[in-house]
Amino acid sequence: MRWFNIFSARLRALVGREAVIRDIDEEMRLHVEMETETNVGRGMSPADARRAALISFGNFDSVRNVAYRVRGGGMLETLLQDIRYGARVLAKHKGFTAVAVITLALGIGANTAIFSVVNELLLRPLPYRDAERLVMLWEITSEGRHQNTTSRANFRGWREQNTAFEGMAAFSDQRLTLTGDGEPEEVSVQLATPELFRVLGVEPLLGRGLTQEGERPAAPEVVLSHGFWQRRYGGDPGVVGKPVTLNGVPCTVAGVLPAGFQWHIKQRSGTGRPAEIWTVLAMPTEGSAATRGRFLSVVARLRPSVSLEQAGAEMKTIAARLEQDAPQYNKGYGTQVIPLREQFVGNVRPALLILLGAVGFVLLIACANVANLMLSRAAAREKEVALRTALGASRMRVVRQLLTESVLLALLGSVFGLLVAWWGIGALVAISPRDLVNLQGVGINLTVLGWTLAVSLLTGIIFGIAPALEATRLNLNDALKEGGQGAGGQGTRNRRLRSALVVAEVALALVLLASAGLLVKSFARLQEIDTGFNTENVLTMVVRLPDGKYKEEPQMVAFFRQATERIRALPGVRAVGTVNFLPLYGGLGSSTGFTVEGQPAPPPGEEPSTNVRVTDAGYFGAMGIPLLRGRNFTEFEANESKHVVIISESMARQHFPGEDPLGKRISVQMFEEPTPTEIVGVVGDVRYDSLIDEAQPTVYFPHPELTYPFMTLVIRTTSDPAEMSPAVRRELSAIDPDQPVSDVRTMNQVMADTVGRARFNTLLFGLFAGLATLLAAVGIFGVMNYSVTLRTREIGLRIALGAQPNRVLMLILRQGLLLTLIGIGIGLAGALALTRVMSSLLFGVDTTDPATFAVIVLLLTVVSLIACYIPARRATRIDPLLALRYE
Amino acid sequence: MTKQKADLLQGTLDMLILKAVSLGPLHGYGIIQRIRQISGEMLDVEQGSLYPALYRIEQRGWVSSKWEVNETNRRAKFYALTRAGRRQLEVEEASWDRLVLAVAKVRRAM
């Protein structure tokens, strides 16, 4: 306690109690002196004069006390007294304090951890100048696909015709190979129109931003991110003006961006990671068909006086005009204006708010538990409170003292809670899915600390108020007479309050358990989805051939043929193939129009569309996609363009109903000229775009027919696929030592990333629900245990009168079960109302899924019975003789 | 010399203190003297009740205090009326006048 005395003495000196008292004393001393002098002036002797002055002044001490209190010293004094007293009480009851602090630390810690994420993602201002005026502009396709990229022609139309925006910039992510000083490496590059940095409000740290515009410049300029500049150039201040080579094209470094600047829109990003280099986006002259390809994301800055709705309305008018000008490209296309914050976190906001609600529930349960603990001590403290009241403390005064104690407890809990949060944030960042949002900046900052402080003060009052009112609502005479054994009215009301708390805990725990149960079931459903391929023992990696080196398509085809032949020869490899985009890759879902020979041609712009994938003969075997009819590509076709394609089952069903697609010819709009290709096979459906959407019709082209400079190798192995990676890399570098590979992942990892967000939510909810259940069980145990203590005499009497242990056991279990069932009833009603908000997080499960609810009710009942069993067993062992003497 | 002393009515002490310092800053002892003097020795403020009242008035911002050295070279804490105190004094004087008037009316009517 010594540290506390020192602390309070310091605090007192700090707030100036001594100074205030000295000031008052001095003033009164002078007063008496003046009176004395006056008296002397009237002819008294100095001694008489002083005595008379002192008498006329009155009681010195009481004046001083009243004066001190008036000057505001009293409140603080009392508070300090209460804190000191509370600390002493907490230190004395170490067991109680430890249990309460641990309970609160878990509740407050979980809250702080989740709040720190909410603060980072939803509350903290975005790191761009006046970021609330930044918006993303997208198109809605004629098929209703949202947040679709736009074309250069349309971007030009938007930029020229709008009045709502101060500035507008288009950009597109690509991975390019960087050569020049040092190792060749694959870098993430953003092609952007030069306004980009001005729109975002960022000034380059060195040099300048992008300036070139128009046709592809002969010597493009590049701007480096701060991180890339540090990593590749060691922060060399003379980097501006240096040459770099991107995909074989010589470029010049124009500038370096400041540290911390990041600009990455995950939706429709072709690279899936933040850019390290920016370079100019070529804008060919108008009219060229090349300007019609849709691959641009657009960011714009609203004028200060323009609202989101006004901007949206204007974009709509412009889109209508563009549709009229070029119906063959723009028919049925709409536009979308999305605030930047919404773009970044819109898709995680519901989950985050629901999680915040869940930890709020956990904290409420923790509060109920601590309130219960305090109530169990209320009986023991009756005498103390009675004594203080008898000595003249008002009820208010005692309540204030008890509340100070509980707030102190809550603050202590929050100190340990911060430790829990600190650890929890680390764990959160570690398990957060790759595609969530950037959680690296999440941490305990001042806002978070403020929140924790507010939560703990509130917590202290919530769990403290009922016990404090309860403890002070007593009949003085009874309490003093009974010698501290709470009984009669007091005990009954106390017990009722505690039962109510337990019922509330069970109800809250049920809501959380039900939510967690639904998420678990939904997650299981996700895992059960038939994706159309086999993920076991498959290794994948992306190989991008730099265009400077591989200029001709046959060179590219030859590289991949050579690569697959070498890899196939490796021991432990069962099959190997290549594909341009893996299923569930998370990139663009391409959707291309096509026509069927012999079927009436639909009006332009209304052709049916299909996914297009480029593969080789080995792909279907390596991925485990079954060939249903016809034949696979032959080795020969895979290496020489023969105008053949393979289609998916749903394509056959939708576009060739009741007929044999084999031998039919289709023209997919992937070529400059209409190129009919013959269908030679039908393979099983694969979910390429998303796990939860039905498989889209897909057409597979052999690689020589539609050559890509980048392909993903798909390698089926006999054992752990990750172990094959070094051998595969060796084979690739044997062909070309400079050739980089990227995104080395097993198909199981690809799947895990796809369901990452669902797993994250499920894991957290499971954790919180588990915590809630544990706390509720502790609460039930505490109440039943206390109840057995209160009923010792009664139970003793029953045993003395011949009650069998089983009967006694049932008596207690029944009482506990009753409370649990009431709680479950209330909880069910609450859960049915609340799980509705979770519907966006669930897949394939109804928010009122009866099976889940049944399992949860059963689980909670069993847990509660276990919690009741220990006190019930204790009740059966009560010695009637001791019990009857017990007072 | 015996004079009949008037009892201080509850709540009038604040007004008297404000009135006393309205003529210029005074220390606590001076306030008592001034009240005694201007009331023609009729009103005697209890010394023990002066200071709590004075501090309360200071807390409300009606007077401000400062340690100073007076004409007889003695250190004392001087109290001066603030602008808020002057407004308060007007309010209290007005309500006091109304009370006196009302009581006088009632007396005459009886």
Encode pLDDT of B53-96 as tens digits: 888 888 778 898 888 887 677 788 889 999 988 998 998 888 88
3-state secondary structure A168-237: EEEEEEEEEEEECCCCCEEEEEEEECCCHHHHHCCCCCEECCCCCCCCCCCCCEEEECHHHHHHHHCCCC
Alpha carbon distance A176, A247 (integer Å): 6
CA distance A135 to chain B (A): 52
Alpha carbon distance A495, A322 (integer Å): 74
**Residue A869 φ/ψ region, left for φ over 0, alpha for ψ in the -120 to 50 degree band, beta for the rest:** alpha
Can you tell me which residue has the tokens 């200060």? A304
Residues in chain B within 8 Å Cβ distance of A28:
51
Interface confidence, given as ipTM, is 0.84
Give yes or no for residue A590 having a pLDDT over 60.
no
Beta carbons of A72 and B59 less than 8 Å apart: yes
**Contact at 8 Å (CB) between A610 and A592?**
yes
Q: Tell me whether residue A603 is exposed, middle or buried, using C-beta atoms within 10 angstroms of its C-beta: 0 to 12, 13 to 18, 19 or more.
A: exposed
Other Cβ atoms less than 10 A from the Cβ of A807: the count is 12
Alpha carbon distance A825, A820 (integer Å): 9
Q: Is B29 on the interface with A (CB under 8 A)?
A: yes
Q: Is B74 on the interface with A (CB under 8 A)?
A: yes
Residues in chain A within 8 Å Cβ distance of B75:
30
pLDDT attached to residue A852? 93
Among A694, A714, A705, which residue's Cα sits nearest to residue A611?
A694
Backbone angles phi, psi at A596, to 5 degrees: -105, 130
Lookup: tokens for A617: 């003969």
Alpha carbon distance A861, A225 (integer Å): 57
Residues in chain B within 8 Å Cβ distance of A23:
77
Q: What is the pLDDT of residues A322-374, one digit of tens each?
A: 999 888 888 888 899 999 988 888 778 888 888 899 999 999 999 998 888 88
* Angle between helices A349-390 and A446-472 in degrees, nearest 10: 40
Residues in chain B within 8 Å Cβ distance of A24:
51
Give yes or no for residue A182 having a pLDDT over 60.
yes
Lowest mean pLDDT among A81-90, A516-525, A638-647: A638-647
Residues 6+ apart with CB under 8 A from B84: B60, B61, B62
The answer to whether position B91 is within a domain reads: yes
Beta carbons of A28 and B76 less than 8 Å apart: no
Backbone angles phi, psi at A168, to 5 degrees: -150, 135
The answer to whether position B6 is within a domain reads: no
**Contact at 8 Å (CB) between A875 and A812?**
yes
Other Cβ atoms less than 10 A from the Cβ of A823: the count is 26
Number of helices and strands (H, E) in chain B? Answer: 4, 3
pLDDT attached to residue A703? 86
Claim: this prediction has a pTM higher than 0.90: no
The answer to whether position B5 is within a domain reads: no
**Contact at 8 Å (CB) between A503 and A767?**
no
Q: What is the pLDDT of residues A522-541, one digit of tens each?
A: 999 988 888 899 989 999 99
Confidence band for A166, pLDDT divided at 50, 70 and 90: very high
The angle subtended at Cα A9 by Cα A7 and Cα A12, nearest 5°, is: 110
Residues in chain B within 8 Å Cβ distance of A58:
46-48
Out of A27, A62, A70, closest to residue B28 by CB:
A27
Beta carbons of B48 and A35 less than 8 Å apart: no
Any idea what DSSP says for residue A121?
I
Confidence band for A1, pLDDT divided at 50, 70 and 90: very low
Residues 6+ apart with CB under 8 A from A76: A15, A17
Q: What is the pLDDT of residues A636-672, one digit of tens each?
A: 665 566 789 999 999 999 888 888 999 889 988 777 6
Out of B27, B59, B74, closest to residue A70 by CB:
B59
Number of domains composing chain B:
1
Give start and end residues of each alpha helix (H) in A473-487. 476-482
3-state secondary structure A224-293: ECHHHHHHHHCCCCCCCCCEEEECCEEEEEEEECCCCCCCCCCCCCCCCCCCCEEEECCCCCCCCHHHHC
3-state secondary structure A12-39: HHHHCHHHHHHHHHHHHHHHHHHHHHHH
Out of A23, A24, A31, closest to residue B29 by CB:
A31
**Helix (H, G, I), strand (E, B), or coil: what is residue A335?**
strand
Lookup: tokens for A618: 């080995």
Nearest-CA residue of chain A relative to B33? A35
CATH number of residue B31's parent domain: 1.10.10.10
Chain A interface, best mutation among B17, B27, B29, by max A CB count within 10 A = B29
3-state secondary structure A815-845: HHHHHHHHHHHHHHHHHHHHHHHHHHHCCCC
Q: Is B66 on the interface with A (CB under 8 A)?
A: no
pLDDT attached to residue A886? 60
pLDDT attached to residue A288? 66
Among A261, A291, A288, A289, which residue's Cα sits nearest to residue A277?
A261
Confidence band for B4, pLDDT divided at 50, 70 and 90: very low
Give yes or no for residue B1 having a pLDDT over 50.
no
**Contact at 8 Å (CB) between A858 and A798?**
no
Q: Is B59 on the interface with A (CB under 8 A)?
A: yes
**Contact at 8 Å (CB) between A835 and A847?**
yes
Q: Which residues constitute the domain of residue B83?
A: 12-109
- Looking at every residue in chain A, the average pLDDT score rounds to 84
The full length of chain A comes to: 887
Among A362, A380, A365, A399, which residue's Cα sits nearest to residue A490?
A380
Q: Is A185 on the interface with B (CB under 8 A)?
A: no
Residues in chain B within 8 Å Cβ distance of A57:
47-48
Out of A33, A58, A72, closest to residue B47 by CB:
A58
Beta carbons of B47 and A72 less than 8 Å apart: no
Nearest-CA residue of chain B relative to A20? B55
Calculate the CA A420 to chain-centre distance: 17
Give yes or no for residue B32 having a pLDDT over 60.
yes
Give yes or no for residue A13 having a pLDDT over 50.
no
Lookup: tokens for A317: 């008018």
Work out the widest C-alpha separation in chain A, in whole angstroms: 137
Any idea what DSSP says for residue A670?
T
Alpha carbon distance A651, A667 (integer Å): 14
Give yes or no for residue A461 having a pLDDT over 60.
yes
Alpha carbon distance B106, A86 (integer Å): 58
pLDDT attached to residue A109? 92
The answer to whether position B40 is within a domain reads: yes
The answer to whether position B7 is within a domain reads: no
Alpha carbon distance A212, A428 (integer Å): 43
Higher-confidence residue: A179 or A130? A130
Nearest-CA residue of chain B relative to A70? B56
Beta carbons of B47 and A71 less than 8 Å apart: no
The angle subtended at Cα A473 by Cα A471 and Cα A475, nearest 5°, is: 110
The answer to whether position B2 is within a domain reads: no
DSSP string, A521-549: HHHHHHHH---SS--TTEEEEEEE--TTT
